[in-house]
Amino acid sequence: MAELKLMVNGTSRTVDVEPDTPLLWVLRDTVGLTGTKYGCGEGLCGSCTVLVDGEAVRSCVLPVGQAVGHKIVTIEGLSKDRSHPLQKAWIEDEVPQCGYCQSGQLLAAASLLERKPRPTDADIDEAMADVLCRCGTYQRIRRAIHRAAGEVSHGQGR
Amino acid sequence: MARVVKVDRRDFLKVTGAAGAGLVLGFALPSGLVRATEPEAPFQPNAWLSIDSKGRVTVWVAKSEMGQGVRTSLPMILADELDADWSFVSFHPAIADPKYGNMGTGGSTSVRRSWAPLRTAGATARAMLVAAAAATWGVAPSACGTEKGRVIHAKTGRSLSYGELAGKAAGMAVPASAELKDPDRFTLIGKPLHRLDTPEKVDGKAIFGLDVRVPGMLHAAVLRCPVLGGKVKSFDADKTRAVKGVKHVVQIDSGVSVVAETTWAALKGREALSVVWDKGPNADLSSEAIHKMFEEKAKGRAAVARKDGRGLDALPEAAKKLEAVYEVPFLSHSPMEPMDCVARVEKGRCEIWAPTQNPQWAQGDIAKMLGISKKDVIVHTTLLGGGFGRRHLPDFVKEAVQTSKAVGSPVQVTWTREDDTRHGSFRPASYHVLKGGVDGKGHLSVLGHRVVAPSISEQLWPGSVKNGLDDSAVAGLIDMPYTIPNLLVEYVMANTPLPIIWWRSVYHSQNPFANECFIDELAAAGGRDPFEFRREMLAKDQRLKKVLELAAEKAGWGKPLPKGQGRGIACCPGFGSYVAQVAEVSVGKDGKVRVHRVTCAVDCGIVVNPDTVKAQMESAIVFGLSAALKEAITVKNGGIEQGNFDTYPMLRIDEMPRVDVHIVKSREAVGGIGEPGVPPSAPAVVNAIFAATGKRVRRLPVRPADLV
Mean pLDDT within B107-134 = 93
- A158 burial (CB, 10 Å; 0-12 / 13-18 / 19+) is exposed
Q: How many whole angstroms separate alpha carbon B591 and alpha carbon B338?
A: 32
Question: Are the C-beta atoms of B346 and B401 separated by less than 8 Å?
Answer: no
pLDDT bucket at B99, cuts 50 / 70 / 90: confident
The pLDDT value given to residue B1? 46
Q: Please name the residues in contact with B22: beta carbons below 8 A apart, sequence gap of 6 or more.
A: B50, B51, B52, B53, B163, B166, B167, B170
Mean pLDDT within B174-203 = 95
Residues 409-448 on B with a CB inside 8 Å of A are 414, 416-417
Residue A49 touches chain B, beta carbons under 8 Å: no
Mean pLDDT within B122-145 = 95
Check B619 against A137: CB less than 8 A apart: yes
Reported residue count of chain A is 158
Q: How many whole angstroms separate alpha carbon B139 and alpha carbon A96?
A: 48
Q: How far is A137 from chain B (nearest CA, A)?
A: 6
CA torsion, points A71, A72, A76, A81, in degrees to nearest 10? 20
The pLDDT value given to residue B7? 58
Q: How far is B195 from chain A (nearest CA, A)?
A: 7
Check A78 against B203: CB less than 8 A apart: yes
Mean pLDDT within B230-254 = 98
pLDDT bucket at B90, cuts 50 / 70 / 90: very high
Mean pLDDT within B382-400 = 98
Tally A–B CB contacts below 8 A: 181
Q: Please name the residues in contact with A114: beta carbons below 8 A apart, sequence gap of 6 or more.
A: A54
Q: Percentage of chain B surpassing pLDDT 70?
A: 93
Residue A152 touches chain B, beta carbons under 8 Å: no
The pLDDT value given to residue B6? 63
Mean pLDDT within B200-225 = 98
Q: How many whole angstroms separate alpha carbon B199 and alpha carbon A15?
A: 30
The pLDDT value given to residue A2? 80
pLDDT bucket at B19, cuts 50 / 70 / 90: very low
The pLDDT value given to residue B36? 30
Beta bridge partners of A3: A16
CATH T-level topology, domain A2-77: Ubiquitin-like (UB roll) (3.10.20)
Q: How far is B171 from chain A (nearest CA, A)?
A: 40
> ipTM value of the model?
0.96
Question: Are the C-beta atoms of B27 and B120 separated by less than 8 Å?
Answer: yes
What interhelical angle do B110-137 and B162-170 show, nearest 10? 90
Question: Are the C-beta atoms of B83 and B51 separated by less than 8 Å?
Answer: no
Beta bridge partners of B426: B500
Mean pLDDT within B326-342 = 98
Mean pLDDT within A72-94 = 97
The pLDDT value given to residue B48? 77
Q: How many whole angstroms separate alpha carbon B430 and alpha carbon B426?
A: 12
pLDDT bucket at B25, cuts 50 / 70 / 90: low
Question: Are the C-beta atoms of B222 and B339 separated by less than 8 Å?
Answer: no
pLDDT bucket at A151, cuts 50 / 70 / 90: low
CATH T-level topology, domain A85-153: DNA polymerase; domain 1 (1.10.150)
Hey, CA dihedral for B548, B553, B554, B556, is it positive or negative? positive
Residue A118 touches chain B, beta carbons under 8 Å: no
**Domains within chain B, CATH numbers bracketed:** 3-197 (3.30.365.10), 209-280+339-414 (3.30.365.10), 287-331+426-707 (3.30.365.10)
Name the maximum alpha-carbon separation found in chain B. Answer: 83
pLDDT over 90 (residue B425)? yes
Q: Please name the residues in contact with B682: beta carbons below 8 A apart, sequence gap of 6 or more.
A: B509, B513, B624, B625, B627, B628, B700
Mean pLDDT within B436-461 = 98
Question: Are the C-beta atoms of B603 and B671 separated by less than 8 Å?
Answer: yes
Check A90 against B383: CB less than 8 A apart: no
pLDDT over 90 (residue B44)? no
pLDDT over 80 (residue B217)? yes
The whole-chain average pLDDT of chain B stands at: 93
Neighbouring C-alpha atoms within 13 Å toward the C-beta of B148: 1
pLDDT bucket at B146, cuts 50 / 70 / 90: very high
Q: Which of B193, B219, B336 should be substituted to probe chain A, the one whose Cβ sees the most A Cβ atoms within 10 Å?
A: B336
Q: What are phi and psi of B681, to 5 degrees?
A: -65, -50
Check B615 against A140: CB less than 8 A apart: yes
pLDDT over 90 (residue B136)? yes
User: Domain locations in chain A?
Assistant: 2-77, 85-153
pLDDT bucket at B662, cuts 50 / 70 / 90: very high
Question: What is the chain A residue with the closest CA to B674?
Answer: A135
Mean pLDDT within B546-558 = 98
pLDDT digits (tens, 9 = 90+) for A1-25: 689 999 999 999 999 999 999 999 9
Nearest to B176 by CA among B119, B99, B123, B115: B123
